[in-house]
Amino acid sequence: MNELPRLAPNTCPAPPNWHNSHLAHKTLNTIMITPHSMSRILTLSAHMLREHEDPGKFLAWIATHGPAILPELAAMTHSEHESNGLFRMLGIQIYNHMPLERNSFQLAPIPRPAPNAPCDCGSELKYKRCCKTLEMFKETPDFGNLLFYSLSSYTNKDLAMLPDTRINTQDLAAVAWELFDAGEDRRLLALLEPWFKPGVELNKRQVPLFDLMADLYFELGNPIKRKRLIERVCQSRYKPLAAEGWMRKASMEMDANKPADAWRSFSKAQQLDPDSPNLCVLEVTMLWSEQRLAELKSRAQFWLTRLKRNRNTPPEVLEIIEICCHDPASLFGQELF
Ligand SMILES: [Zn+2]
């Protein structure tokens, strides 16, 4: 990346006495930073961190170059010392929330020195007399999912190694949804396909990614790949994932006007994961589309008690199910889910 500032040497003057600083009552959360500058510093930080292993060098870099990237934050400080300390603290927060490849995409917070140990900023003061006083800034700005930034410098080809790491696939799915919404189909394909390659074991980790993979093949007009994907997922030894496969198959069969096949697939899913809120949604939708209102009412009652015990049930599902228990006809003309 051309605009990446050069790495500064690891020098860092001591901050002043922060207890008396005018910044003392603020946290990083309350300091206004525009989303554009924030996204720029996070992107640059992710690039730096991918190139340079040492968090110390990263902190020195952000202390030196941060003020040019985030002038609104620099404007709040009254001296180079203050600015240096504040940007180092921001750097620590960024590092602590950035999943990096060298940590197998797990978070690995920078250890802080003991109070009487020398401060790690290079001031030669004790930590308690130096940067510890900055800990009032340890509240994190609302970074959201920093994995998006970690991966921003990865080529499409680089993404193929992700299944060999310990990356959190819930977070990865959030990145994938952003790509999906932005219409970045090629990138999304490069991100998702390696997870479903022949030879890769399908287990719990694929659960957050499967729906998106199937949706993407649908968007791209690739019914053969979609069908193969679903068939493979149905065979997974991890039951909740296999159940998702059968549910997907059932809704496709319903759409293709093959209700008998759809109900067979539904039963398979039911055997594998009987308490899944998704299964409830599917059953109610299927009964609804066949206009079997009396059955719909009694099944909704059954599901309501069951789902109330399941903390993972989305509230909007419970809401629709409650209506289905009493007056499903009032939902006519609406999309159920
Ligand atoms: Zn220090």
Write down all domains in the chain, each with its CATH number in brackets. 18-148 (no CATH), 154-272 (1.25.40), 275-337 (no CATH)
Over 80: is that where the pLDDT of 331 sits? no
Provide the pLDDT for residue 54: 84
% of the chain at pLDDT higher than 90:
57
Q: Whose CA is closest to 277, among 237, 246, 236, 318?
A: 318
- Cα 30 to middle of ligand 1, angstroms: 23
- Cα 130 to middle of ligand 1, angstroms: 4
- Cα 131 to middle of ligand 1, angstroms: 4
pLDDT confidence band for 28 (50 / 70 / 90)? low
- Cα 123 to middle of ligand 1, angstroms: 6
Provide the pLDDT for residue 301: 94
- Cα 106 to middle of ligand 1, angstroms: 26
- Cα 6 to middle of ligand 1, angstroms: 23
Mean pLDDT rounded to a whole number for the chain: 85
Q: Model-level pTM? A: 0.81
- Cα 88 to middle of ligand 1, angstroms: 9
* Token digits of residue 243: 């159940």
* Token digits of residue 213: 């993979």
pLDDT confidence band for 25 (50 / 70 / 90)? very low
Over 80: is that where the pLDDT of 32 sits? no
| More confident position, 275 or 10 | 275
pLDDT confidence band for 81 (50 / 70 / 90)? confident
- Cα 76 to middle of ligand 1, angstroms: 19
Q: 118: helix, coil or strand?
A: strand
Instruction: Concatenate the DSSP letters of all residues of 270-314 into one string.
Output: HHH-TT-HHHHHHHHHHHHHTT-HHHHHHHHHHHHHHHHT-TTS-
- Cα 59 to middle of ligand 1, angstroms: 11
Provide the pLDDT for residue 3: 39
Over 80: is that where the pLDDT of 13 sits? no
Q: What is the pLDDT of residues 187-224, one digit of tens each?
A: 999 999 999 999 899 999 999 999 999 999 999 999 99
* Token digits of residue 206: 């694929």
